[in-house]
Structure 1
Amino acid sequence: MASTIRVRAIASGDTTQVQSLINHPMDSGFVKDSKGQIIPPHHIEVVEFEHAGKVVFTCLWGPAVSKDPYVKFSFKGGKKGDDLKVSWVDNKGQSDSTVAKIQ
């Protein structure tokens, strides 16, 4: 199965800019389908970005985050060629992770 996470990390000086897009429905539990039935909640709760064994950014999300969420941030200490691990866990226990090289 292909990863649900797309990530780009670019080092510039001592700062690394990170952009990530996660493919996820992010259902709130308040929307009805075409038959009028409530679509159960299904949303990401935790997203973590790790560099050199340390968590550099954490997102704590709930049902208010939109479908296919996008994250952009920067951190200090990344170098070209280093690994950046991205992982998420949702409210149904599903998860995904990927590792990207910093460019």
Structure 2
Amino acid sequence: MSEMKIRAKLSGDETTVKCLMSHPMENGQRKDSKTGDLIAAHFIQEVICKTKDRIVLTASWNGGVSKNPYLSFKFKGGAVGDPVEIIWTDNQGKTERATALIS
């Protein structure tokens, strides 16, 4: 099962969000060392971050992003105690979501 760790901290009028996502991020071009077969592509395609039903970040990814990706970004308009939700969807249709409160 995948896991996400999120931290969101307000400093002045900017909220800094840091997120670590557990995901294999296979690009479909690597071979299994034992069988020599290609490992199927399995990567996060879309990442969305919301706060109070407002989208503050949308990212489109591909197989070029490393295993267990780390994402950090800033946005304005957050307040202490507001929820920050990150949702990702991978190329196999799996969706993962996690929420943290701004501190």
Tell whether 2:42 aligns with 1:42. Answer: yes
- After TM superposition, the score normalised by the length of structure 1 is 0.95
1:41-89, CA deviations, whole angstroms, 9 ceiling, x for partnerless residues?
Answer: 0000001100111110111000111100111110001111110011000
Q: What is residue 15 of structure 1 aligned with on the other side?
A: 14
* % same residue: 42
Tell whether 2:89 aligns with 1:94. Answer: no
Q: Distance between the aligned counterparts of 1:68 and 1:31, measured in 2? A: 16
- After TM superposition, the score normalised by the length of structure 2 is 0.95
Amino acid at match of 1:14: D
Q: Where do 5+ consecutive residues of structure 2 fail to align?
A: none
Amino acid at match of 1:67: K
Q: Distance between the aligned counterparts of 1:97 and 1:11, measured in 2? A: 21
1:5-56, CA deviations, whole angstroms, 9 ceiling, x for partnerless residues?
Answer: 1110000111100111100000000000121010000000001100111110
Root-mean-square deviation (CA, aligned residues, Å) is 1.0
Amino acid at match of 1:96: E
Runs of 4 or more consecutive aligned structure 1 residues displaced over 6 Å after TM superposition: none
